[in-house]
């Protein structure tokens, strides 16, 4: 099987594509891949770290109001479609898989125009503009949430879950605890604001550091994000001696192992993160980012909250006191934690990547 992957801008679009590639390689070790992304997107950094060849097109997103910039964007789109067709003819894929982001648009559209089987995957409850546009041209649409089904044509849409859920199932809790130097007798609380960190989560966490010792059975793992690490480290020094039950990192590359060891997670509500949490049945305190299109993180988070798998705190309501109150409510009640764990696991779709692979098998050129 020859596969073109496309999607970019954020890790939420890129990691699902890479997870699908891993599942295809597991099923078909001789499969060949090409990733088409943007030079300016995060994919230009992440994909070259894998063994998947990377090529790029130039594209930008449409503004939500009439501006001259949209004229330039449409011209870039036409050029990107033309370049994508050339790349696709050279690579001759059996299928093209798009996982969202602006760059996905011209690549998947070009594939559809060339008669190459196409699949798009939507991670969020409310789909983005690119996937809404592509839905009319592609052969299949895979969605992560049942609530998303109504946004796409019924005859070509299937509920698969997010393929990141499958990948995280390979995490090793013993390796996670060994990395932290924490024994089985400690509960692990992972605080993570995403690869770039989240200022609001960082500020609330800093505020509760002096009180972390009130949870002697708990070890806190605080991942600040590379951008914030130096300032957070300086702020922690000003507070005096760091609690023994706190580990601080700028970034971690073994997140599946840490998630597998986690008792509770505090973080954003990106679709990939929620797929990982529910696959493992990890309860959560979610602080949705208010800086995303269509406020999709809050909509993602409310679904978990409704089912009892999470406590949601909006960023403008977040404080150290509010965070401490939520931590105490979960860590102070084994019954509450167990109920949240059960609800989280019931929402999980750990075989998502396998389901997407099955969708690919249904397409014949």
Q: What is the pLDDT of residue 294?
A: 79
Q: Annotated binding residue at 162?
A: no
Q: Annotated binding residue at 297?
A: yes
Closest CA to 152 of 119, 107, 111, 103: 119
Q: What is the pLDDT of residue 53?
A: 97
Q: Give pLDDT tens digits for 26-58.
A: 999 999 999 999 998 889 999 999 999 999 998
Q: Quick one: 76 and 143 in the same domain?
A: yes
Q: What is the pLDDT of residue 68?
A: 52
| 182 pLDDT tier (thresholds 50, 70, 90) | very high
Q: What is the pLDDT of residue 226?
A: 85
Q: Annotated binding residue at 361?
A: no
What's the average model confidence in pLDDT over 82-111?
A: 96
Host domain of residue 176? 170-347
What's the average model confidence in pLDDT over 252-276?
A: 93
Element (H, E) at 264: strand 264-267
Q: Which of 97-111, 188-202, 272-286, 318-332 has the lowest mean pLDDT?
A: 188-202
Q: Quick one: 146 and 248 in the same domain?
A: no
Q: Quick one: 320 and 358 in the same domain?
A: no
Q: Quick one: 98 and 209 in the same domain?
A: no
Q: Quick one: 134 and 276 in the same domain?
A: no
Q: Quick one: 160 and 189 in the same domain?
A: no
Q: Annotated binding residue at 358?
A: no
Q: Annotated binding residue at 50?
A: no
Q: Sort 179 into a burial class: Cβ within 10 Å, 0-12 / 13-18 / 19+.
A: middle
Asked whether residue 11 carries a pLDDT value surpassing 90, the answer given is no
Q: What is the pLDDT of residue 296?
A: 86
What is the distance between the alpha carbons of residues 280 and 350, in angstroms, rounded to a whole number? 8
Q: What is the pLDDT of residue 70?
A: 59
Q: Annotated binding residue at 307?
A: no
């Amino acid at each position: 099987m020859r596969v073109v992957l496309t999607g970019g801008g954020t890790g939420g679009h890129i990691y699902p594509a890479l997870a699908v590639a891993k599942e295809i390689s597991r099923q078909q070790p001789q499969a060949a891949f090409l990733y088409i992304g943007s030079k300016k997107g995060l994919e230009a950094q992440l994909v070259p770290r894998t063994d998947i060849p990377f090529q790029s097109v130039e594209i930008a997103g449409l503004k939500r109001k009439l501006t001259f910039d949209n004229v330039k964007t449409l011209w870039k789109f036409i050029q990107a479609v033309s370049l994508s067709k050339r790349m696709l003819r050279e690579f001759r894929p059996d299928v093209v898989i798009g996982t969202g982001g602006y760059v996905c648009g011209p690549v998947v559209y070009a594939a559809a125009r060339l008669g190459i089987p196409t699949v798009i995957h939507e991670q969020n409850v409310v789909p983005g503009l690119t996937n809404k546009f592509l839905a009319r041209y592609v052969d299949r649409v895979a969605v992560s949430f049942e609530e998303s089904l109504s946004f796409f044509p019924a005859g070509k849409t299937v509920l698969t879950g997010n393929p990141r859920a499958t990948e995280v199932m390979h995490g090793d809790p013993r390796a996670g605890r060994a990395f932290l130097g924490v024994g089985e007798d400690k509960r692990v609380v992972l605080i993570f604001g995403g690869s770039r960190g989240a200022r609001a989560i960082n500020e609330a966490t800093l505020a509760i550091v002096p009180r972390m010792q009130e949870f002697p059975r708990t070890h806190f793992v605080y991942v600040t994000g590379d951008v914030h690490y130096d300032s957070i480290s300086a702020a922690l020094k000003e507070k005096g001696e760091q609690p023994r039950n706190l580990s601080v990192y700028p970034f971690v590359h073994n997140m599946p192992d840490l998630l597998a060891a986690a008792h509770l997670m505090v973080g954003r509500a990106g679709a990939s993160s929620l797929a990982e949490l529910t696959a493992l049945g990890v309860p959560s305190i979610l602080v949705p980012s208010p800086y995303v299109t269509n406020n999709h993180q809050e909509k993602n988070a409310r679904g978990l909250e409704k089912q009892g798998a999470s406590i949601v705190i909006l960023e403008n309501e977040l404080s150290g006191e509010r965070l401490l109150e939520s931590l105490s409510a979960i860590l102070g009640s084994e019954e509450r934690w167990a109920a949240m764990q059960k609800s989280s696991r019931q929402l999980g779709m750990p075989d998502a990547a396998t389901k997407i692979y099955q969708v690919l098998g249904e397409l014949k050129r």
